Structure 1
Amino acid sequence: MKDINEFLSNISEPAHRDRVKELFGWTEKTFPQLKVVIKWNQPMFTDHDTFIISYSASKKHLSIAPETATITAFKEDIANSGYQHTDNIIKITWDQTIDYTLLQKLIDFNVQEKLHYTKFWRE
């Protein structure tokens, strides 16, 4: 995979593809300092070459992956938004709205927490 457009073209359901495209657009507009890179066939947003967040689509849901430390820090907010989650991802079903306020908190947290971080992932 070489770019976001290729990633988006692999989402077969047009409504899901449009929703993911909107999410990418919101992220790029809200956090213009973040760079999109493709690693492991997955688009990821980075800041100074460290991972901040990634999004992916499956048949039943949109996945938000901000790293385990971020999910742990915002577990209550995630639950209050009505989203299911694992230690690694937040699942937003296609019929749920995206809580952009929560998403902004997750990204802000990672940007601040990893401000001086020099590795891609947290250890």
Structure 2
Amino acid sequence: MSTFHDFLEKIDNPEHKQRMEEILTWVKEEFPHLDPEIKWNQPMYTDHGTFIIGFSVSKKHIAVAPENVGMNQFLDQIEKVGYDHTKELIRIKWTDEVHYSLLQEIIAFNIMDKADCTSFWRK
């Protein structure tokens, strides 16, 4: 978690900070081969130099960014659990349950789908 220390320290609300730390820790434990990084002041995980998933925080929610392909692949499930979303990100309200099984599927899909990817973002 040292990679994300400064990011987490900037979260004023202690409950939000703890929740974000739990999510980031879960990703690292579930996918230990992923590399934790900070880019554009946001925590993310990469695999062989390619983006897998990123996170950001706002006053009202945690934003999860799996890239558009990841969004499209799981759109029905994202809507079924009640998460608000855009074309590029999922919004998990601070009061919402974190559906770790859905996050696990999204991350696993991105790892598999980008196994041969040689760029940071999909082209």
User: Could you say whether these structures have the same fold, taking a TM-score greater than 0.5 normalized by the shorter chain as the test?
Assistant: yes
Alpha-carbon deviations, 1:9-55, whole Å to 9, x = none? 11110000000000011000000000011211222100001000011
- 5+ long unaligned stretches in structure 1: none
Q: Which residue of 1 aligns with 2:109?
A: 109
Task: Report % sequence identity.
Answer: 44
Aligned ranges 1:9-88 → 2 under 5 Å: 9-88=9-88
2:36 is the counterpart of 1:5: no
The CA distance in 1 between the partners of 2:94 and 2:39, in whole Å, is 25
User: How far did 1:122 drift?
Assistant: 0.6
Q: Give the Å deviation of 1:106.
A: 0.3
Alignment root-mean-square deviation, CA: 1.0
Name the count of aligned residue pairs.
Answer: 122
Q: Which runs of 4+ in 1 moved over 4 A?
A: none
Unaligned runs of 5+ in 2: none
Deviations 1:68-101 (A, max 9, x none): 1110111000001110000111001011000000
Following superposition, the deviation at residue 3 of structure 1 comes to 3.3
How far apart, in 2, do the equivalents of 1:88 and 1:27 lie? 19
Question: In the aligned structure 2, how far is the partner of 1:101 from the partner of 1:49?
Answer: 25
Q: TM-score, normalised by structure 1?
A: 0.96
Q: Which amino acid aligns with 2:76?
A: E
